[in-house]
Structure 1
Amino acid sequence: MKPRIAVLGCGYWGSNHIRTLKSLGVLAAVSDANEARAEGFASEHDCVAISPEALFEHAGIDAIVLALPPQFHAEYAIRAMRSGKDVLVEKPIALTVDDAQRAVAVARETGRIIMVGHVLRFHPAFEKLKELIDKGDLGEIRYIHSHRLGLGKFHTENDALWDLAPHDLSMILALTGVAPEEVRGEGAALLDHLSDFAHLHMRFPGGLRSHLFTSRLNPYRERRLTVVGDKAMAVFDDVEPWGRKLAVYRHAVWHDSGHWAFTTNEPTYVDVEEGMPLTRELQHFLDCIETRGEPRTTGEEAIEVLRILTAGSVTHG
């Protein structure tokens, strides 16, 4: 039998989970504090609506996807796992490292799966980029920078750093395979006390450096991850069409007669299999439930993402 999955939280991102799980044939229930909203989704997708309080003990549910305001993620994940259910919790896993650690400890204690929704780890272009790096095609990685810019969305709890950066931090940690030794953050709040622009600067063991720039008050959309190696450079640009999402630049730089010289080359676009990251993420969650394997996006990694966010946060008066 396929796992029977419920989605708790029928907002914007929860609705995407609902539609995708329905397409995978595993949507059993939806739940929301707004009963009418849950009933509407249940009717549309031919499943049942269950109140949040009844959901955790419901015998007909094997796992729960949590798509809630992040201040509820850790508490509800713990309740679900103590009730014998596996959990996919949206990013960020919690608002404090302590809460995230408690959730991960409960997963170990109960033998339940806790997977975190760092969805871009399942993007085919990112998977291909990681494959190129692992094969040594870019050489030794020296620098990684990420830009995630656009207009909105505006939240009362999360600033631009906490809302936008977790995806990129998860990708950067996957590529480096190690946590940064040093984190420095800068932010600017224009609308209220929450940062609308944020920079993170990171230094990793071995000298690798990285910076991340997020903005929710930008006039254009940018979704770009750039990796600089000593053999080649690569750019994952999610705004580009599929045939141009992953580009490799084989520029050359060398030292000649006391001066630096370089040549530039046109990019080579890498063939990438088309696929929806959320579908691939949820299929991976189902595979983990069935095999009891460790998720690609673990709770431990999510804790490290929180440590970086906390270290780089800027408070505004």
Structure 2
Amino acid sequence: MAPRIAVLGCGYWGSNHIRTLKKLGVLHAVSDANGARAEGFATEQECLAIAPDALHRRNDIDAVVLALPPQYHAEFAERLVEAGKDVLVEKPIALTVADAERTVAAARAHDRVFMVGHVLRFHPAFETLKALIDNGELGEVRYIHSHRLGLGKFHTENDALWDLAPHDLSMILAITGTAPLEVRGEGAAILDNLSDFAHLHMLFPGGVRGHLFTSRLNPYRERRLTVVGTKAMAVFDDVEPWERKLAVYRHAVWQDSGQWAFTANEPAYVEVQQGMPLTRELEHFLDCLETRSEPRTTGEEAVTVLKILTAGTVIHD
């Protein structure tokens, strides 16, 4: 029997979950603090509307997708896993490391599937990039940098780093396979006391370095992840059309008579199978529910992401 899934949080991203789960045939209920909003989605999607505080008591709910403001994630996630529900929680998993660790421990203690919505891990271009790295096509990875820039969205609780960086950090951690040894953050607050621009500088075991730049006050959109290896460099650019989203540059750099020399080659665009990352993420969640297997984006990884965010946050008076 297909799992019966509820979505808690009917805002912008929650509505995407609702519509996608409906297409996948597993949407059973919606829930929101705004009862009228939940009822509207329930009517539109022909499912139940359930009050948030009642979800954990419902025997007809197998799993819940949490798409709430992040300050509420830990409270509801812990309550749900303790009630025997499997959970997919949107990023960030919580606003403090302590809350995140407590939630992950509760999920482990109650043997629940617990997945975090780092949706770009399921982007076909990133999956193809990760396969190239794992197959040695880029050689030894030495440097990773990501830029996630644009205008908005503006939150009263999250700054540019916490809102925009988790997806990129999840991808970087997937590539390095380990947490950074050092994290240094820089930020600038323009509108209020929350950073509108943020930089993270990271050092990983083996000397691999990472750099991340986020901005919500940028005049143009940039969604780019670059990986520099000893054999080649690769760029995942999500602003580009599908046929140009993943490029490999086989530049060469060498020393000649004590001087550095290089050749710059044109990019080779790698074919990427098209697909919606959110659909693929939710299909993965459904597979984990059926097989009781470990999700690709675990709670433990999300805790590491939160530790990096915490270490790199700049407090503005």
Quote how far apart the aligned CAs of 1:54 are.
Answer: 1.2
Once the two structures are superposed, what CA deviation does each residue of 1:1-21 show, in whole Å capped at 9, x if it has no partner? 110000000000000000000
Q: Distance in 1 between matches of 2:254 and 2:72?
A: 53
Q: Distance in 2 between matches of 1:54 and 1:103?
A: 19
Q: Distance in 2 between matches of 1:74 and 1:53?
A: 14
Q: Distance in 1 between matches of 2:185 and 2:82?
A: 36
The gaps in structure 1 that reach 5 residues or longer are none
TM-score by length of 2: 1.00
Q: Where does residue 256 of structure 2 map in the other structure?
A: 256
Task: Determine helix, strand or coil for the equivalent of 2:220.
Answer: strand
Q: Where does residue 293 of structure 2 map in the other structure?
A: 293
Q: State the AA in 2 paired with 1:47.
A: C
Q: Distance in 2 between matches of 1:221 and 1:51?
A: 37
Q: Does 1:58 align with 2:58?
A: yes
Q: Where does residue 71 of structure 2 map in the other structure?
A: 71
Alignment of 1:10-21 (within 5 A): 10-21=10-21
Q: State the AA in 1 paired with 2:293.
A: G
Task: Determine helix, strand or coil for the equivalent of 2:57.
Answer: coil
Quote how far apart the aligned CAs of 1:182 are.
Answer: 0.3
Quote how far apart the aligned CAs of 1:90 are.
Answer: 0.3
Q: Where does residue 33 of structure 1 map in the other structure?
A: 33
Alignment of 1:271-290 (within 5 A): 271-290=271-290
Q: Distance in 2 between matches of 1:251 and 1:202?
A: 25
**RMSD across aligned positions (CA):** 0.4
Task: Determine helix, strand or coil for the equivalent of 1:275.
Answer: coil
Task: Determine helix, strand or coil for the equivalent of 1:56.
Answer: helix
Alignment of 1:207-222 (within 5 A): 207-222=207-222
Once the two structures are superposed, what CA deviation does each residue of 1:148-179 show, in whole Å capped at 9, x if it has no partner? 00000000000000000000000000000011
What percent identity do the matched residue pairs reach?
A: 80
Q: Distance in 2 between matches of 1:177 and 1:111?
A: 24
Q: Where does residue 192 of structure 1 map in the other structure?
A: 192
In the comparison of the two structures, how many residue pairs are matched? 317
Alignment of 1:55-204 (within 5 A): 55-204=55-204
Quote how far apart the aligned CAs of 1:258 are.
Answer: 0.7
Q: Distance in 1 between matches of 2:108 and 2:219?
A: 44
Quote how far apart the aligned CAs of 1:222 are.
Answer: 0.2
Quote how far apart the aligned CAs of 1:132 are.
Answer: 0.2
Q: Distance in 1 between matches of 2:75 and 2:50?
A: 18
Quote how far apart the aligned CAs of 1:53 are.
Answer: 1.2
Q: Distance in 2 between matches of 1:178 and 1:48?
A: 42
Q: Does 1:47 align with 2:47?
A: yes
Q: Distance in 1 between matches of 2:175 and 2:250?
A: 19
Q: Distance in 1 between matches of 2:38 and 2:258?
A: 69
Q: State the AA in 2 paired with 1:180.
A: P
Q: Where does residue 310 of structure 1 map in the other structure?
A: 310
Q: Distance in 2 between matches of 1:313 and 1:237?
A: 26
Quote how far apart the aligned CAs of 1:88 are.
Answer: 0.1
Q: State the AA in 2 paired with 1:248.
A: V
Quote how far apart the aligned CAs of 1:56 are.
Answer: 1.2
Which 4+ runs in 1 deviate beyond 4 A? none
Q: State the AA in 1 paired with 2:250.
A: R
Once the two structures are superposed, what CA deviation does each residue of 1:80-125 show, in whole Å capped at 9, x if it has no partner? 1011100000000011111111011101110011100000000000
Q: Distance in 2 between matches of 1:46 and 1:141?
A: 49
The gaps in structure 2 that reach 5 residues or longer are none
Once the two structures are superposed, what CA deviation does each residue of 1:264-305 show, in whole Å capped at 9, x if it has no partner? 111000000000000000000000001000000000000000
Once the two structures are superposed, what CA deviation does each residue of 1:4-46 show, in whole Å capped at 9, x if it has no partner? 0000000000000000000000000000000000000000001
